[in-house]
Structure 1
Amino acid sequence: MPVMTVTLLRLAVVLVLAAFLVDPHLFQPLFEPLTQNGAPAIYDRTPFWQLAMAHLGIVLLAAVLATIVAVGMAIFVTRPAGREFLPFSRSLANIGQTVPPVAVLALAVPSVGFGLKPTLIALFLYGLLPIFENALAGLSEVPAPVVEAARGMGMNARQRLFGVELPLALPVILEGVRISTIVNVGTATLGSTVAAKGLGEVIVAGLLSSNDAFILQGGIVVALMAILIYDALGAVVRNAARRSGLARTGDKI
């Protein structure tokens, strides 16, 4: 697909999403056929832009926390002193994928209550694995001759890690962050089942009232947000690859 066409499609998605978040009633004629018995066509209990900001906020917070923990674990198990802890670290990172987010929410609510905290815990655990595995792969695949050259230049272990290994592994790590974040954009809708603010509120309201218009609105906004974030993070990954010298002509990350 031509670059200009892709750019125009991206711009159109951004404009449509922005218009809907600011004034969803502009789109009311599109959703009215999906309602029954005079039910409202547009969800208006909470402004859509507020729900979208709350939704993004919890996803980004979970991504930051998961990145810090997952990259930290990957660094530790790729050092000589931590290699024996690799199986344990991998099992820990797998917890979020082994235990469904709904189950994590159910287990967390009695301890931390309803709202943001149980949702954050579920998203944090669910987002660990892709970041950990990518960070592990990126750090493990740093060419040994490069590390040896850095050691020969007099760089200590800390300098080699932050000056050589992490910069070379960054594109792979960011790809893991990208995957984790996109998965959690959709998973975050479950937070509304435990009273966390977010776009899941619209979907839950639609399910409870059998209003297909509400369900579709929540689903469309989440999907468009996921597409835009995936696209934006993809550009960040490609830029990091170019800066690290790992991108080759024709590569697509």
Structure 2
Amino acid sequence: MKWLGYTARAVAIVLLVLLLVETDLFAPILAPLNDNGAPAIYHQGSLLFLALNHLGLVALSTFVGGALALIAGIFVTRPAGAEFLPLSRAIVNIGQTFPPIAVLAIAVPSLGFGAEPTLLALTLYGLLPIFENTMAGLKNVPPTALDAARGMGMTGSQRLFQVELPLALPVILTGIRLSFVINLGTATIGSTVGAKSLGEVIMAGITTTNTAYILQGGIIVALLAVLIYDGLGSLERYLAKRTGMAAAR
């Protein structure tokens, strides 16, 4: 039944593209949602531009947060850093403990309005999945692989970069996938502090009680999340198969 999956992906991609560049096509469907005769299609800004900005915020925050979480995860799995595990876990949990909207409220006075406070909130919010999966991936590297690497005379750094990280990569990618998709939905709150994102469409719908606007922004975010989650999942399965970790997982 693989063709069903391919068909569903193709339909989702076509629908996403039409929503972003030919939104007026959906006016007859969305118009009945507005009883007050308000416009059914959001024209205060380009949906494509907002979507690209939205993805940019999420990608940059995931990259920065991923780099920090990856370094921390590697560090605490080394003998020299094991004692810092509780502290590191407490730090990465901050993003999950404090809601992103609270981080925005704290960050705005010092960073101002716009993308900067949103990036900070998303970076903190996305640390935990990548950190935990980095540790899980490195700890589950087969001992036989490490013994073979030692037998070949590899140094600690060589074992890390040539053996451990490649074998742990599928698990680490799972954390990155979760972090990216979580932040994809969370990034909509950035519009409350002036960041350009699809949250602008949703907030416009909320403030004007325009259900059509809310639906446009929500569907686009949902389609992006599903397609990216599916794409990263396929990459993860491919890497797991390549590294021989699929059976172990």
Considering the TM-score relative to the shorter chain, is it more than 0.5?
Answer: yes
Q: Which residue is equivalent to 2:80?
A: 81
Cα RMSD of the aligned pairs, angstroms, is 1.1
Using the alignment, how far apart are the partners of 1:166 and 1:234 within structure 2? 18
Partner of 2:205: 206
Question: Structure 1 counterpart of 2:35, which letter?
Answer: Q
Map 1:77-226; keep pairs closer than 5 Å.
77-226=76-225
CA distance in structure 1 between the partners assigned to 2:14 and 2:156 by the alignment: 48
CA distance, structure 2, for counterparts of residue 46 and residue 214 of structure 1: 12
Q: What amino acid is the match of 1:60?
A: A
Query: How far does residue 37 in structure 1 lie from its aligned partner after superposition?
Result: 2.5
Amino acid at match of 1:244: T
2:231 corresponds in structure 1 to 232
For residues 29 and 219 of structure 2, what CA distance do their matches in structure 1 show? 13
Q: TM-score, normalised by structure 1?
A: 0.96
| 1:36 shift after superposition | 2.8
Task: Please report how far the alpha carbon of residue 144 of structure 1 lies from its aligned counterpart in structure 2 after TM superposition.
Answer: 2.2
For structure 2, the 5+ residue unaligned runs are: none
| Deviation per residue, 1:150-190 (Å, 9 max, x gap) | 01101111110000000110000000001111111100000
1:30 corresponding residue in structure 2: 29
Q: In structure 1, the residue corresponding to 2:126 is in which secondary structure?
A: helix
Which contiguous aligned blocks of 4+ residues in structure 1 show a shift greater than 3 angstroms? none
Measure, in 2, the Cα distance between the counterparts of 1:45 and 1:165: 50
1:247 Cα offset (Å): 1.5
Aligned-residue sequence identity (percent) comes to: 57
* TM-score relative to the length of structure 2: 0.98
When the two structures are aligned, how many residues end up with a matched partner? 249
| Distance in 1, Cα, partners of 2:186 & 2:119 | 11
